[in-house]
Amino acid sequence: MSPAHDKYYVPHDSYWPIVGSAGLLFLMLGVSTWLNGADAGFWVMLFGVGILIVMLVGWFGTVVHESVGGLYNAQVDKSFRMGMFWFIFSEVMFFAAFFGALFYARNMSVPWLGGSSNNFFTNLLLWQGFEASWPTNGPGEVGGDYQVMGPFGLPLINTAILLTSSITVTIAHHALIAGKRAILTIFLAATFILGFIFVYMQAVEYVHAYQDMNLKLTSGIYGSTFFMLTGFHGMHVTIGAIMLTIIWLRVVKGHFTPDNHFAFEATAWYWHFVDAVWVGLYVFVYWM
């Protein structure tokens, strides 16, 4: 490498961030007016999403171009790694809020409504006859009778799928380091295919819950925590699978070398993160 490459690469003048801000403006304006009852808001929202997609493609395209062009030295690479780590940490804390809500409901608010601790009169005067148990849709039986989503069947299959995909992505990573392109391509493809299968199965589960079990987002605190946790997780799996697909395309194009493949690793970390969240979900939402 020439000495110039040893300098930390500082890009100049990018219009992608301001395009992103415009996208966010239309997105948020659209969603807000739509929620307030204006149908036009939906189209404004889609327009915002469109701008954001253009921005993401353009911004990442610029970064990929610079990366392939060899502008990034080891220190820049380290910045990206650290940035990804802290981004995943922020995601962990986002899920922590919803897990916190689940634990609070199970261990505090529901038992209290049932009269535990010093809440005898809460139960007697407000919710007489309510006996605390989990799962529950609350003393008001919000959303009506529902069935509980058990841990076996689809959720167990989904667990197996995600855990397997974590293994396949690791095999792909080792193959990348060892320079075995065939294994890399096959196992990375397997990973995102498993990811999309997971998302599909999750959709099947949701349809089943809504149509056959009367288990809905509106089914009290159980429905709320169930769908918000699995929903946000499913969203992250979808994003992760799209990321893996793009990385696979880049692998096919030969963008990565055994010692320079940050984007691959970042996506793999992200994938392990959604996998770990799923294990938490499986244990605390489906099983216990």
Query: Does residue 126 interact with another protein by CB under 8 A?
Result: yes
Query: Is residue 59 a contact point for another protein (CB under 8 A)?
Result: yes
Count of positions on this chain that bind another protein (CB under 8 A): 78
- How far does Cα 190 stand from its chain's mean position? 19
Interface with another protein includes 25 (CB under 8 A)? yes
Choose the stretch contacting another protein; rule: CB under 8 A; options: 12-20, 179-187, 239-247, 265-273. Answer: 12-20
DSSP secondary structure letters along 41-81: HHHHHHHHHHHHHHHHHHHHHHHHHHHHTT---HHHHHHHH
Q: Does 138 bind another protein (CB under 8 A)?
A: yes
Q: Is residue 16 near another protein by the rule CB under 8 A?
A: yes
Say whether residue 24 binds another protein (CB under 8 A).
Answer: yes
Distances (CA, A) of 206 to 63, 143, 159: 37, 16, 16
* Residue 65 found at the interface with another protein (CB under 8 A): yes
Residues 89-108 that bind another protein (CB under 8 A): 89-91, 93-98, 100-101, 104-105, 108
- Cα 194 to chain centroid distance, Å, stands at 15
**Which residue of 115, 223, 234, 240 would you call a contact of another protein, by CB under 8 A?**
223
What part of residues 225-264 is at the interface with another protein (CB under 8 A)?
225, 227-228
Least distance CB 196 / another protein (angstroms): 25
The residue within the footprint of another protein, chosen from 113, 175, 194, 237 (CB under 8 A), is: 113
When asked if residue 40 is in the footprint of another protein (CB under 8 A), the reply is no
- Which residue is it, tokens 């006996």? 131
3-class SS of residue 32: helix
DSSP character for 260? B
Residue 267 exposed, middle or buried by CB count within 10 Å (0-12, 13-18, 19+):
buried
